[in-house]
Amino acid sequence: MIKNLILILVIYLVYRTVKNWMIEQQARQNPDNPLAKGRDDKSDVMIKDPQCGVYFPQREGLALNVKGETLHFCSEKCRDDYKNKM
């Protein structure tokens, strides 16, 4: 029983190592590949819409500059509602 668990663990570790190595190779060949981008990509930060309170990825939001501060909205409707409220 213990031998099987150790074997499964070793197989999993080899799988993860090979997978990470392949992703690094793809990143070197094609830096625009989304799978090749690092996990420290700041565009995946979740932010809160100031109008409706929904959380969404910053890269998918719509920006609006208000008094020197950049606000991000989840949709055009929320952005327009916020502008009309001002």
Residue 46, C-beta contacts closer than 8 angstroms, at least 6 positions apart: 55, 56, 57, 58
Distance CA 71, CA 59 (A): 12
In which domain, by residue range, is 63 found?
42-85
Same structural domain, 31 and 46: no
pLDDT at 32 over 60: yes
What pLDDT sits at residue 33?
58
Q: Does residue 65 sit in the same domain as residue 30?
A: no
* pLDDT of 42 over the 60 cut: no
Confidence (pLDDT) at 66 = 87
Same domain, yes or no: 53 and 27: no
Q: Are residues 46 and 75 in the same domain?
A: yes
The beta-strand segments (E) located in 1-86 are 46-48, 55-57, 62-66, 69-73
Are residues 27 and 50 located together in one domain of the fold? no
Regarding whether 81 and 51 lie in a shared domain, the answer is yes
Same domain, yes or no, for 25 and 56?
A: no
Give me the number of domains the chain comprises: 2
